[in-house]
Structure 1
Amino acid sequence: MTPERSVPLVPPPPTATYRLQLQPDFPFADAEAAVPYLASLGVSHLHLSPVLEAVPGSTHGYDVVDHARVRDELGGEVGLRALSRTARAHGIGLVVDIVPNHMAAVPRHNHALWETLREGPSSPCARWFDIDWDAGDGRVLLPVLARGIGDELERLRVDGDVLRYQEHAFPLREGTEELPLPKLLDAQWYRLGWWRLARTELNYRRFFTISDLIGVRVEDPEVFDATHGKVLGLLREGVVEGLRVDHPDGLADPGAYLQRLHEATGGRWTVVEKILADGERLPAAWPVAGTTGYDALRHLDGLFTDPAGAGELLGQYRRFTAPPADRGGDWGATVRRAAYKVITHELAAETDRLTREAAALCAPHPALRDHAPWALRTALQELLVRLPVYRPYVSGGAEPASVLTVAAADDAKAAFTVREEAEAVDVVRDLALGRIGSGPGVDAFRARFAQTASALRAKAVEDTAFYRHAPLLSSAEVGGSPERPAVAPEAFHAYCARVQRDWPYTGTALSTHDTKRSADVRAGIAVLTQCPQRWADLLVEVTEQTARMGGTCAPDPQLAWAAWQTAVGFGFPYDERLQQALLKHVREAGLHTSWTEPNEAYEKAVTAFAEAGPCGPPLYTVAEFAAGLRPHVRANVLGATLLQLTMPGVPDLYQGTEGEYRTLVDPDNRRPVRFQAHVLEHLEEHRDRWDLSEEKLALTAAALRLRRRRPELFGGAATYEPLSVRGPGATHCVAFARSGELVTAVTRLSLRLTDAGGWRTTELVLPEGRWTDLLTPGREFTGHARVADLFGELPVVLLERVNRVSPDAREASGEPESSAPGEPA
């Protein structure tokens, strides 16, 4: 195929990316139509969700079925190339999301899986998948049946060389087509089973606990080449310029994979979806630009969270909901209990495989072979639930010993009553650290232990504990730290300085397709940390109103708390979107109902509560309360936006977030966005009537255009300098300079500031020179600027240094002297 263009070996990194969630209702053609608007906004690259062939109708694309084809439903390769040409004509490149960890386990669409199921372990495609053939008596369990096989026989039918069940199709092993149905089923390389058997009998690696997504062995060079050929070809031709790697923690050896990818791409800009725990660092040896930005999100959200108020909210939450410590009242206990549930139920099959492998590795050692399987299983469970990170790494970063500590092992031993049996903990820990034996078996166990750890952490924390522990929902976010939700300005500056030094081209994010609440919703909820007593008073009032007016009560106080807090952040009016989010909330929490064991009576009560307002007449009281917080929500929204756009790293904007953007958990946040380019074109015509959405759009455009115009201020050679703020409101202003040419300053905790008397004499010490305001044209500042003047129309300010002019040149040009320090020119 003719190359699209001649490209440099390594194109420059993006200055800013814009995420588009492609789906059949928003294909390449729609993305192409949005290019002129996004170019005028100032982004340098479009960040596309997965573009390879996926399950028909998929709204996300992470269920890839064919790595060699661009997805037809999006417009195929012709559509992608057309999008690339149009984008390139507007000075924009493409970054695509790739999914190396898994594929859709849908045989009729996944050719490699179809061949594996037809030919068994001898199939050349069998090496693609991490299947434990021994555990299934030589067959792969496919948990697709609605009931047990005996109850579903009449629904199975043979159609030539294909076995069909409802919408499913499976290949028949050659020569078995004419067998009676029971014998035909037994003769296959797979076993059709009840969907509930996946918990205990599944014998292939999957994505987390989703049996519809089967793990891929990209550590095999042939599999890597087959699954990356199309994307690498698009990179070589310049159709695509960068990559976002989905879920590297699920791979057997993420470091080795990323090194192979780096070499194959020629060092193109690549970021990884690595969720870093609070205080955890990205492995320094990984040849990537950085992460997709959840670590930045945690710091940005935390900066606008009041630590004292967050503590008060926790106390109020415990009193209002009265949960046991391990059911949401205490974060650590909540995570531990959730982890036990996941490891003993949803991940029971994965734990059993680790137990078998541990026993096999112990067998050659006389001193180790007598550990009972149940003791090894218990030791595995007790160690895994105590891991504070998603995955321990042996190379390319911190040693796993840093998280598999002696203290963690001693704590795990408390689950045993016999000391000799407790020694199994040390055995498992040493196996996970590679201290017992060597060779492929040990390496495989260590990799599988780490893979299981990442799945456990994701399911226990993100998908369970975040829904059980709800004192401050804005902190219950991917990569978040509900135990320590607030981030001090000093810690934020230290983080930014470290990013500039170590990962200057890492991604930063505020909203993504995976965030449980968009940044603007979280900004509204975070304001509650500045007025915890007002929040407590509101709860008393709406509770009394519900009782007095006959409103519909929540089925439990924890749901009421979460619903009202969500309503405050989400805003009014709302529709079934809140209802669906609340249903997902209670199912994920798994305390009263769940996805697999739904409690219909409880869920009807949740729906009735949500449909009533929530809580009927008190809806208007909650709406009035939220309206009173709007000025402070505005400060949070604009402040977080400007910080993300000017701090170290490459900002990634999620579709639609350049304006006010309020969405809840998926699928709500994955709806197609319809762009209105004329809003940006005519923005200045009615500046005096801007609402928050227009203010945010103007701010975003100003910052992005600056990044595009002066990329040297933000790249690897740039500098980051915290600026000094002096006076009674100093803790409420966060300011920094970039490369001595740009100043960002924002307001934090504005409600607390107002209650304390405002800015008064607070001053920001600007670097030497004259500074012009990019957000409010016509204003200039020098020296010690009064913060009250800086934040005249907006609670944020973006200043660019005016080039120094000599006195002689100034006199010749008739340019006036600069204004007095701190005063607008």
Structure 2
Amino acid sequence: MNELRATVRLQLHAGFTLDDAAAQVPYFARLGLSHVYASPILMARVGSTHGYDTLDYGRVNPELGGHAALCRLVARLREHAMGLIVDIVPNHMAVGGSGNRWWEDVLAWGCASTRAHYFDIDWDAFAPWLQGRILAPFLDRPYGAALRDGMLRLAHEAQSGMFFIHHHEHRFPVCPRHHAALLSDVGAPADLCAELAALAPAPVADWGGYPALSRLAAWAATADGQAAISRIVGRHDARTACGRAALDDLLGRQSYRLAWWRTTPDLINWRRFFDITGLAALCVEHEDVFDAVHGHIIDLYADGLIDGVRVDHVDGLSEPAAYCLRLRQRLMAVRHLRPGTAPQHLSIHVEKILHDREHLPPSWQVEGTTGYEFMDQVSAVLHDPDGTALLDGLWRDHAIADPTFADTERNARSLILNDVFAAELSGLQTQLAMIAQCSADTRDYTMGRIGRVLYALLVEFHVYRTYFSDDAQGGHQAGHAVLKAAAQDARAHLSPSCHDMLDWIVGMLGRTGMRDVSIREAQRRFEHLTAPLAAKAVEDTSFYRYGRLLSRNEVGSDPGRMSLPVASFHKENMYRSRTCPDTLLATATHDHKRGEDARMRLAVLSEVAARWHDLVNRWIVGNAHLRRRRMTPDRVDEMILYQAMLGAWPLEPWPDADARQGFQDRIVAWQVKALREAKRHTSWTDPDAGYEEGCREFTQRLLDPRASGGFIADMDAIVATMAPAAAVNSLAQLVLRLTLPGVADLYQGTELWDFSLVDPDNRRPVDFMLRQAILRQEGSVRQQAAHWRTGGVKLCLLQKLLAFRAQYPHVFSKGSYEPVEVSGPAGKHVIAFLRRHDGIALLVVVVRHCWGLVPSPHDLHLDTSLLGQTFLLLTTPANTQWRSIVHEDRVQAHTKRLSLSFLEDGIPVECLVQVEGGIS
């Protein structure tokens, strides 16, 4: 059984099940992949397209085929010496709707529920009417209107015996103890009423675990019972005044308060996943909650059905370091139970966004991240810094406000704090005010001033979070540095009278060693606010507002940084080689903002900034007549639209009207999401139908040859002109992902060109039959390059490098990483390095910023003489020749000063190998 060396990420759902994945295993094996890396497989909401809305951690999702289908997939994988990694979701569960037994138990019994501590609920909320109750903000209108309009309905569930209050797809349990009062005056058996009145919370698997409810269900099935239930429902019919009063009274006695969904930002007293009210945060720091969430996953590992896990949103957990250590310990404890056919290797990867100069804490003891930081680094090194000034100027000329990304982010953080996380900020503010009252030195720190200081600090806090509330974290030097930097920036926006308070708050949030419960709670609240604030303000707002160059607006990236020097790129690779050589290397994910090859096309704009500057200015004037409404879209949204189209524009003309319409539909769907995420003119919570319709009409006219044939011709021309350089970028990105320190990750379908947009566009069905047909052609890279627009050259290169990884896995898992010095006129265009292990040497060379090197539109070869005058300065022993992995017929004589002239023949990427004792 192979160890982890290359993965393929699959998005499982009812339309692509575990059996569908099993059918593709021979293809994945032929590609040279070692593991399938699957989206969550446990029971999720019916119809879930992603699996992150878990309802039951105790079974494999039946929509995916259930446990039997999982066994079939693993059997097929084992036949091909492959493994399975699964995505797990320990941070949150789906709530609202129906089907989450844990959540319903908490709603029914309140803080007395045996599962009340499963969820992160503030039972002592700042609002008096929420003391000891849970806000349930799932109503489609204000509570009074919902009651008056008959949108709340009492119903009895025959199977369980429970009464629920229904609202659309949502159901809310009536406390079982309250059933006695409902039944007492409709002729129900007195002993049944007494038994119900005496009920107490119990850790049962479902409502059938309460004998009194089972007895009620049986009685309700009788003629007398049916009549009685009908009378109870009738007495609580909100369509009558008496019914409304009775239903209101019944709801007033529950442990939850039903509320309009718009109350959420101001009143919510439980933690969500970001701002999604349908996903409630779990407290896996409690050992019994950890066991309940992970028990089945641990069993699957013990049974040899999974070989590793990917932990979703690890920064959402209260104690990530402690969690990762516990997870590894629990999985390792059952490793001896695994069957002999299963590998003993265990991999744990965490989904984490790392800010610039931030690294994964070694105390977590995981293999690495899911690769966002690599996606940023490899993209940045392929962008040309020379285009920065012109692109800055173009954006500054047309941006209505916020000309820099720093300005954009600061304003977005302010917006999100006010409009989305007001309740979380208020809770943290209250907690710090309580701490301040405990000391004579700080008792005059008022709530209002604490709030203003916190606000300033949070606006300037640029990483996901610190870890001061996690005792297993180890050193906190990085956390202190982050707090200090944020405080320094915040100080400039605060009056001098607040500076002492700022220092005190930073001291509380960064305190280590002896801490009382109140300080730890303040740290926990702060750390649970900064992560969702970063996600919502940066990735889900600023990325849709700032349009200097969209290829840098990617998850894990800093759009304010255009490029990365090669020396810095080498430095990051050497660090990864030393500290986490098994981290994943991704260039596409289910969460990316645009496809990996769309980004590489847009990266070429950094090289042709002057041409793009003139073209956009011409479009802005020339397309003005396509607007039906004045300044709809405005200049910001118009400029972002042009780049989105450029990235996704097809390489070949649309074959027919249906294909053109399909592209238009994709762009329009993306545009609605982009406009709402930007929250400038419209949003998900307050959509402006007029602005959205104006933007849609403008976009449709742009893509109508009768209305804007000139624009379409311009776009066709610029895409055709840029496409060869973009393709070389993509191939360079592919080679780097497959040869640098780390585990190469392939996102489903990206074997061919990937010009996708943000989800759901990047989760469209994959045509695996087409990819298998291309792979069966078995042509050389050179032959495929002659037809590079099909994407076959990318697939061919992928397969060749994966085959080499399979043949020499230790070159990548244990081999050295050695930057190679480049000298000569094309030196700035080249990235070169060596990987060496046990007599094998791999020399990797790719070009970057290749627009000026004139890649051929016919076969991507470079039409330049500069490479022949540029040399690699090698330190490998001169004992054998180099053999090409990419170009089968290429053998290169060894020399200490190796000319790059070989890159002029064929595609301009190369992997040369030396095997000690001669070429094998």
Fold agreement, TM-score > 0.5: yes
Q: CA deviation at 1:397?
A: 4.9
Q: CA deviation at 1:426?
A: 2.4
Partner of 1:347: 421
Q: In 2 relative to 1, CA 418–579 (structure 1 residues): closer, same or farther, beyond 3 Å?
A: same
User: Take 1:27 and 1:631, find their aligned partners in 2: how far apart are those partners?
Assistant: 37
Partner of 1:157: 153
Q: Is 1:147 matched with 2:141? A: yes
Q: Is 1:432 matched with 2:491? A: no
CA contact (8 A) 2:883 2:914 kept: yes
Matched letter for residue 695 of structure 1:
V
Match of 1:287 among 365, 388, 392: 365
Output aligned runs, 1:83-98, within 5 Å: 83-98=73-88
Q: Is 1:532 matched with 2:571? A: no
Matched letter for residue 892 of structure 2:
F
CA contact (8 A) 2:784 2:796 kept: no
Partner of 2:887: 776
Q: CA deviation at 1:547?
A: 4.8
Partner of 1:590: 679
Q: CA deviation at 1:585?
A: 1.2
Deviations 1:68-99 (A, max 9, x none): 11111000111111101101111110000011
Q: Is 1:306 matched with 2:384? A: yes
User: Take 1:548 and 1:192, find their aligned partners in 2: how far apart are those partners?
Assistant: 49
Partner of 1:254: 320
Q: CA deviation at 1:406?
A: 4.5
Q: CA deviation at 1:157?
A: 0.8
Deviations 1:412-442 (A, max 9, x none): 34555471x5533223212211269723332
Partner of 2:847: 747
User: Take 1:511 and 1:68, find their aligned partners in 2: how far apart are those partners?
Assistant: 30
User: Take 1:709 and 1:667, find their aligned partners in 2: how far apart are those partners?
Assistant: 36
Q: Is 1:801 matched with 2:914? A: yes
User: Take 1:705 and 1:603, find their aligned partners in 2: how far apart are those partners?
Assistant: 48
CA contact (8 A) 1:649 1:714 kept: yes
Output aligned runs, 1:499-538, within 5 Å: 499-538=576-615
Match of 2:793 among 683, 691, 695: 695
Q: Is 1:215 matched with 2:293? A: no
Matched letter for residue 515 of structure 2:
S
Partner of 1:730: 827
Aligned residue for 1:370, secondary structure, equals: coil
Matched letter for residue 665 of structure 1:
V
Q: Is 1:182 matched with 2:279? A: no
User: Take 1:478 and 1:428, find their aligned partners in 2: how far apart are those partners?
Assistant: 30
CA contact (8 A) 2:829 2:847 kept: yes
Deviations 1:353-404 (A, max 9, x none): 1112112222322222222111122222211221121111333354365345
Matched letter for residue 166 of structure 2:
R
Matched letter for residue 777 of structure 2:
H
Q: CA deviation at 1:534?
A: 0.6
CA contact (8 A) 1:430 1:436 kept: no
User: Take 1:599 and 1:134, find their aligned partners in 2: how far apart are those partners?
Assistant: 37
Partner of 1:657: 750
Q: CA deviation at 1:279?
A: 1.0
Q: In 2 relative to 1, CA 78–541 (structure 1 residues): closer, same or farther, beyond 3 Å?
A: same
Q: In 2 relative to 1, CA 410–734 (structure 1 residues): closer, same or farther, beyond 3 Å?
A: closer
Q: In 2 relative to 1, CA 529–397 (structure 1 residues): closer, same or farther, beyond 3 Å?
A: farther
Partner of 1:105: 95
Output aligned runs, 1:618-629, within 5 Å: 618-629=711-722
CA contact (8 A) 2:9 2:39 kept: yes
Larger radius of gyration: 2
Partner of 2:818: 721
CA contact (8 A) 1:95 1:242 kept: yes
Aligned residue for 1:575, secondary structure, equals: helix
Aligned residue for 2:540, secondary structure, equals: helix
Q: Is 1:358 matched with 2:463? A: no
Matched letter for residue 510 of structure 1:
T
What's the TM-score, normalizing by structure 1? Answer: 0.92
User: Bigger CA drift: 245-254 or 397-406?
Assistant: 397-406
User: Take 1:549 and 1:508, find their aligned partners in 2: how far apart are those partners?
Assistant: 43
Q: In 2 relative to 1, CA 94–369 (structure 1 residues): closer, same or farther, beyond 3 Å?
A: same
CA contact (8 A) 2:480 2:510 kept: no
Matched letter for residue 176 of structure 2:
E
Root-mean-square deviation (CA, aligned residues, Å) is 2.1
User: Take 1:688 and 1:399, find their aligned partners in 2: how far apart are those partners?
Assistant: 50
Deviations 1:267-322 (A, max 9, x none): 82111111000111111211101111111111100111001213321111111x14
Partner of 2:168: 166
User: Take 2:690 and 2:54, find their aligned partners in 1: how far apart are those partners?
Assistant: 37
User: Bigger CA drift: 669-678 or 547-556?
Assistant: 547-556
Q: In 2 relative to 1, CA 635–398 (structure 1 residues): closer, same or farther, beyond 3 Å?
A: farther
Aligned residue for 2:526, secondary structure, equals: helix
Q: Is 1:444 matched with 2:444? A: no
Deviations 1:549-579 (A, max 9, x none): 8899852111221111122211235231111
Partner of 1:601: 690
Partner of 1:336: 410
Output aligned runs, 1:636-715, within 5 Å: 636-676=729-769, 677-684=772-779, 687=784, 689-692=786-789, 693-715=791-813
What's the TM-score, normalizing by structure 2? Answer: 0.83
Where in structure 2 are there 5+ consecutive unaligned residues? 157-162, 183-235, 237-245, 333-344, 655-662, 855-862
Deviations 1:168-216 (A, max 9, x none): 1111112435371010110111111000100000000111111111000
User: Take 2:627 and 2:420, find their aligned partners in 1: how far apart are those partners?
Assistant: 41
Q: In 2 relative to 1, CA 488–551 (structure 1 residues): closer, same or farther, beyond 3 Å?
A: farther
Partner of 1:812: none
Partner of 2:394: 316
CA contact (8 A) 1:509 1:651 kept: yes
Partner of 1:7: none
Q: CA deviation at 1:645?
A: 0.6
Matched letter for residue 181 of structure 1:
L
CA contact (8 A) 2:2 2:34 kept: no
CA contact (8 A) 1:393 1:399 kept: no
Output aligned runs, 1:255-270, within 5 Å: 255-266=321-332, 268-270=346-348
Matched letter for residue 70 of structure 2:
L
Output aligned runs, 1:362-511, within 5 Å: 362-394=436-468, 395-399=473-477, 401-406=479-484, 408-417=486-495, 419=497, 421-434=498-511, 438-511=515-588
Match of 1:632 among 725, 741, 746: 725
User: Take 1:757 and 1:313, find their aligned partners in 2: how far apart are those partners?
Assistant: 29
Matched letter for residue 616 of structure 1:
S
Where in structure 1 are there 5+ consecutive unaligned residues? 1-10, 807-814, 816-825
Q: In 2 relative to 1, CA 749–742 (structure 1 residues): closer, same or farther, beyond 3 Å?
A: same
User: Take 1:540 and 1:668, find their aligned partners in 2: how far apart are those partners?
Assistant: 29
Deviations 1:3-44 (A, max 9, x none): xxxxxxxx8741001100111110101100000000000000
Matched letter for residue 362 of structure 1:
A
Aligned residue for 1:183, secondary structure, equals: helix
CA contact (8 A) 2:627 2:697 kept: no
Q: In 2 relative to 1, CA 510–398 (structure 1 residues): closer, same or farther, beyond 3 Å?
A: farther
Equivalent pairs, count: 791
CA contact (8 A) 2:628 2:694 kept: no
Q: In 2 relative to 1, CA 548–168 (structure 1 residues): closer, same or farther, beyond 3 Å?
A: closer
Aligned residue for 1:65, secondary structure, equals: strand
User: Take 2:676 and 2:865, find their aligned partners in 1: how far apart are those partners?
Assistant: 45
Q: CA deviation at 1:339?
A: 0.6
Match of 1:79 among 69, 82, 89: 69
Q: In 2 relative to 1, CA 378–746 (structure 1 residues): closer, same or farther, beyond 3 Å?
A: same
User: Take 2:496 and 2:572, find their aligned partners in 1: how far apart are those partners?
Assistant: 46
Deviations 1:31-69 (A, max 9, x none): 000000000000000000000101111111111111111
CA contact (8 A) 2:7 2:34 kept: yes
